[in-house]
Structure 1
């Protein structure tokens, strides 16, 4: 079942690329950016102010391919983030790890509103470990690729008054939570029932909001919010919230300063709010309006 769902999502996402290769360029709006940020700090052994020598490397990739013809729209987005950090005396660890893929087919019924069907996938690339070790001194695996992984389908209406802002309201949003790594499942099940690898939430609602705009010269802010409610667990404590924020400042054509933050509240993962943040100076490569046709 889980392989079938993932295959369906990949085919849905790839079909947009096929259309991009066959349709006229005037119906597509494409953007692509990829960057690498490096942070480094060094202190002598007698540095009295204190500090730990460290090095960190963060990478990110953002791509969009949005199709529009008449009342029909097809928006596709990929956000990939991965980073590593090494403090003196410690092992190399992850600083950020995120996979987000989204595809949405819409039909406009007014200038600002459209009905839509969408699918999005959320997970991570590599294993994640707890800060603490077990009784035997071994690292505790707490997450991995598809452990957890979230595949969500949604049907609803979207309000999009301009290219910078969109709000999706989905009263029907079934979600599949994957937990395929047995070692992760031994520590935390992320809401997946005991003895199973997939949790299905058929009756649920989802709200998604996106804001992306240049807030000053060469400074761009992007915010992505996702709220998820299972009708069978209708309490405010059980509403999932995810917020991703990226502030990018261009120094010149290739050098940029990048500030990234992620905030998660998911009661099935932890009763408290989780957050991560990274800041770096690095290289950014951007393409806009490019063609996929040969």
Structure 2
């Protein structure tokens, strides 16, 4: 029930604040300027630091850094809109008397091709691809001997087709796909055998030996609804929202996977900026664990809401 409420809250928030005719969105140019490619690149580095000298309240010195790179190549003409982008993010934290720990790790690629039969229409027949994974091992600190995630463990691929509405499609988009393939990759043998990230775990005999290895790929076919928009809420304050709602037809249809990102960008000058972001995820296939009554063993505790919050000040360069 609570995830149905979350789904409705996300949907209402996005529909309310992402109307294509929003006053925050610049008006579309009436004059057609011909087919064109537009490429943009952005590199950023955010830094946060805390230092103590004879501080009687106590505390530990720490420093955090987040490096990001985004690139996009978009094509548009009277009938076609083809949008492509890739994002890499990597962040670390070093605290006094503690090893360096990873705070963020993302590799994401998106491609969206849309066709509209009439030049003045805002409706597109669209096909969309999304792929994301991470670059390095993830750990449940302080244990750094057993990775809980790796490159392509997990990796996610969404591919499907449907209808998309966007008056200025690079700024505002509402996409509905009645048929989308979702593939979850767990290419690490140990994580696949453990059934991590929703793949089928290995089958063991009574002695604990593997009879049938765990599956490396989980395939789903379902319905996908996404909403994204960018707007200037005040001078030098921009917001970017991305919401994805997915439900598998075969396994527990109606149980919605949620991926919701909300990012604020505060521009200080041409290079210096501050950023604040929130990322909420819920995936029923990703189960958590709790200590078992048997010492050293764990029981499945079901899926839980995941939330990540980011705040940083740094530099950003567009080129």
Measured against the shorter chain, the TM-score band is 0.7 to 0.9
1:129 maps to: 139
1:175 paired with 2:192, answer no
Change (3 A) 1:189 1:281: same
1:30 is aligned, of 39, 58, 61, to: 39
Q: In the TM superposition, what are the counterparts of 1:208-287 in structure 2 within 5 Å?
A: 208-236=226-254, 238-270=255-287, 271-287=303-319
Q: Shift in Å at residue 282 of structure 1? A: 1.0
User: C-alpha offsets along residues 83-129 of structure 1, whole Å, 9 cap, x if unaligned?
Assistant: 00111121111111122211011111352110011111011111111
2:93 is aligned, of 85, 89, 105, to: 85
Please give the alpha-carbon distance, in whole angstroms, between the structure 1 residues aligned to 2:125 and 2:98: 51
User: C-alpha offsets along residues 137-170 of structure 1, whole Å, 9 cap, x if unaligned?
Assistant: x643111111000111111000112242101101
Q: Secondary structure at the match of 2:190?
A: helix
Change (3 A) 1:63 1:214: farther
Is the 1:144–1:184 contact (alpha carbons within 8 Å) kept by the matching residues of 2? no
Q: How many residues align?
A: 257
Please give the alpha-carbon distance, in whole angstroms, between the structure 1 residues aligned to 2:127 and 2:279: 26
Change (3 A) 1:199 1:90: same
Q: Shift in Å at residue 132 of structure 1? A: 5.8
Larger strand share, 1 or 2: 1
Q: Which moved more, 1:91-100 or 1:104-113?
A: 104-113
Please give the alpha-carbon distance, in whole angstroms, between the structure 1 residues aligned to 2:274 and 2:227: 25
Q: TM-score, normalised by structure 2?
A: 0.75
Change (3 A) 1:176 1:108: same
Please give the alpha-carbon distance, in whole angstroms, between the structure 2 residues aligned to 1:187 and 1:193: 8
Change (3 A) 1:286 1:183: same
Please give the alpha-carbon distance, in whole angstroms, between the structure 2 residues aligned to 1:224 and 1:91: 33
Greater CA radius of gyration, 1 or 2? 2
2:129 maps to: 119
Larger helix share, 1 or 2: 1
Is the 2:72–2:83 contact (alpha carbons within 8 Å) kept by the matching residues of 1? yes
Q: Secondary structure at the match of 1:190?
A: helix
1:50 paired with 2:69, answer no
2:166 maps to: 160
1:185 paired with 2:197, answer no
Is the 1:258–1:279 contact (alpha carbons within 8 Å) kept by the matching residues of 2? yes
Q: Secondary structure at the match of 2:167?
A: strand
Please give the alpha-carbon distance, in whole angstroms, between the structure 2 residues aligned to 1:260 and 1:52: 25
Please give the alpha-carbon distance, in whole angstroms, between the structure 2 residues aligned to 1:25 and 1:254: 32
User: C-alpha offsets along residues 242-267 of structure 1, whole Å, 9 cap, x if unaligned?
Assistant: 11222111111111112232211112
Gaps of 5+ in 2: 1-32, 202-213, 288-302
1:61 maps to: 69
Coordinate RMSD, CA, aligned: 2.0
Please give the alpha-carbon distance, in whole angstroms, between the structure 2 residues aligned to 1:141 and 1:218: 41
1:200 maps to: 219
